[in-house]
A = this chain, B = another copy of it.
Amino acid sequence: MSKIAVVALSGGMDSLVTLAEIRAKGYDIAALHFNYGQRTERRELEAFHAICDHYAIETRLVVDVAYLAAIGASSLTDPSIEVERANLDRTGIPSSYVPFRNANILAIATSWAEALGASAIGIGAVEEDSSGYPDCRREFFSAFERVIELGTRPDTHITILTPVIGYRKAEIVRRGVELGVPFELSWSCYVRSDIACGECDSCALRLRGFQLAGIEDPIPYVVKPRYG
């Protein structure tokens, strides 16, 4: 009997390498993507499908979690904001931390995993780069595993896999190269959807990772500053 893992795949490099690590462990992959009204939503979705095509992953689920962005924004603006309205009009996502975001992602992934009979869920959380994000820490994932054990059917047992949690970006790049991941299909830029800007936080982290690893990033950039 094959074992299945539900993997959250944003289209960026961390989740791509996470996917490759979990495949390398022998899991069949069910790929889960989240739209949340971010500026580059379509580009990320395109990357998601391109990566799934590359690995011949047929089981895909795209979930709209625009309410998370609305909730994040509401703390700054209007606490009584209606999510449906925000869903329709929202084009940008606030750069602020979205409270408890990973718990939402894990809950959806677990629901789908239990429905599919999967034995694991994977997420590309990175402890190092996310200092200050409490829901990227190992203890958080351990505690969530206990919630899964208690909150699902008695015969359901689901492990949380976070293979890149201890890596720095340069290690993620190196490991991705070892695993032969298609970095050219991934997308990280928060600002543009045609050519990566090279200057947003996400581009900067990615470029620094490639530069420190001494590897050329295969995607095109408008500008390619030296961050390493």
Binding site for B on A (CB under 8 A): 30, 58-64, 67-68, 71-72, 74-75, 79-84, 87, 98-104, 106-108, 110-112, 114-117, 134-135, 137, 139-140, 143-144, 146-148, 150-154, 156
Which residues from chain B contact A60 at a C-beta distance below 8 Å?
80, 82
Which residues from chain B contact A156 at a C-beta distance below 8 Å?
99
Number of copies of chain A assembled together: 2
- Least distance between A2 CB and chain B CB atoms (Å): 13
Given known contacts A68-B111, A135-B150, A144-B147, what 10 new A-B pairs fall within 8 Å (CB)?
A64-B87, A71-B115, A74-B116, A98-B111, A100-B114, A103-B148, A104-B107, A104-B108, A104-B111, A106-B107
A67 in complex: contacting residue of B63, B81, B135, B154, CB < 8 Å: B63
Q: In the complex, what residue of chain B is closest to A98 when comparing beta carbons? A: B111
Please determine whether B135 and A143 come into contact, CB atoms closer than 8 angstroms: no
The DSSP consensus for interface residues of chain A is helix
- Least distance between A136 CB and chain B CB atoms (Å): 9
Q: In the complex, what residue of chain B is closest to A134 when comparing beta carbons? A: B151
Also in contact, A112 and B71, with CB within 8 A (given A61-B82, A83-B62, A107-B103): yes
Q: In the complex, what residue of chain B is closest to A85 when comparing beta carbons? A: B62
Which residues from chain B contact A30 at a C-beta distance below 8 Å?
79
Also in contact, A84 and B64, with CB within 8 A (given A107-B107, A134-B150): yes
Also in contact, A140 and B147, with CB within 8 A (given A107-B100, A112-B71): yes
Q: In the complex, what residue of chain B is closest to A144 when comparing beta carbons? A: B147
Q: In the complex, what residue of chain B is closest to A104 when comparing beta carbons? A: B107
- Least distance between A32 CB and chain B CB atoms (Å): 10
A sample of 9 cross-chain residue pairs with beta-carbon separation below 8 angstroms, ordered by A number, consists of A74-B115, A99-B110, A99-B156, A103-B111, A103-B148, A107-B107, A139-B150, A140-B151, A143-B151
Also in contact, A99 and B81, with CB within 8 A (given A107-B107, A143-B147, A150-B134): no
Which residues from chain B contact A71 at a C-beta distance below 8 Å?
61, 108, 111-112, 115
